[in-house]
Structure 1
Amino acid sequence: MNFENTGIETLTVDLSRLDEVMEHNGMVRAGQWDYERVTYDHKFEIKEGTYYLRIQGYATEGDVGSYDAYVQLMTPILGKHYYPHGVEYGEDEFYPDHLVKQCNKILAAIYQEAKVFAE
């Protein structure tokens, strides 16, 4: 499921500031990066299953590995995890309304905080 028009996809943010904003809002980068890309996840374990809110981005300038980069964020997505296959993002997946509302709140908070630091 794509979260269109959140404003997040319009932001380019310094990686250090972005890490702070994401962590403050429960999004984890952990080992999900390479020198040009980052992925932030928020894991939801609810009665309907395990879901991941994911925000990806790519370096427009600099190097993620050296913590010296500006990251262009992409459209946030929500996917359901299926063991052992991984996360599915298809529109035919079931996304509970309460989960979608919670994701929208998180995304709105991230946008409000990150836009202050955007290029």
Structure 2
Amino acid sequence: MKFENTGLENLRVDFDRLNYICRSHKLVLAGQWDYERVTFDRKFDLKEGTYYLRVLGYAVEGDVGSSEATIQLMSPLLGKYYYPHGVEYGEGESFPPSLIETCEKVLADLKNEIEQFTV
């Protein structure tokens, strides 16, 4: 599921600042990055299954590996985990309404905080 019009799309922010803000909202970078792209995930374990909220971005300046980058954010995604295949983000997935509501709140809070530091 793609979250459209969150206000995060097209925001640009310093990578270190973004990493700090995302961690404060339980979005983890872990190993999901390369020198041009970053992915922050938040895991939700519910009785209906395991879900991931994903915030994506790419470097428009600099290099993520050196932590000297300006990141352009993209539309966030919500996916469901299926063992052993991985996470599916397709439009055919169904998500608990309470999870969608929680994710929308997290994204709104994230946007409000990031907007203070946009480049």
Normalised TM-score (structure 1): 0.98
Identity of aligned residues (%): 59
* Counterpart secondary structure, 2:98: helix
* Counterpart secondary structure, 2:13: strand
Match of 1:53 in 2: 53
Is the helix fraction higher in 1 or 2?
1
Q: How much does 1:73 deviate?
A: 0.5
* Structure 1: gaps of 5 or more residues: none
**Superposition map of 1:12-91 within 5 A:** 12-91=12-91
Over the aligned positions, Cα root-mean-square deviation in angstroms equals: 0.5
Q: How much does 1:10 deviate?
A: 2.2
Deviations 1:93-115 (A, max 9, x none): 11000000000000000000001
Letter in 2 for 1:47: K
Letter in 2 for 1:6: T
How many pairs are equivalent? 119
Normalised TM-score (structure 2): 0.98
Measure, in 2, the Cα distance between the counterparts of 1:69 and 1:90: 30
* Structure 2: gaps of 5 or more residues: none
Deviating 4+ runs (over 6 angstroms): none
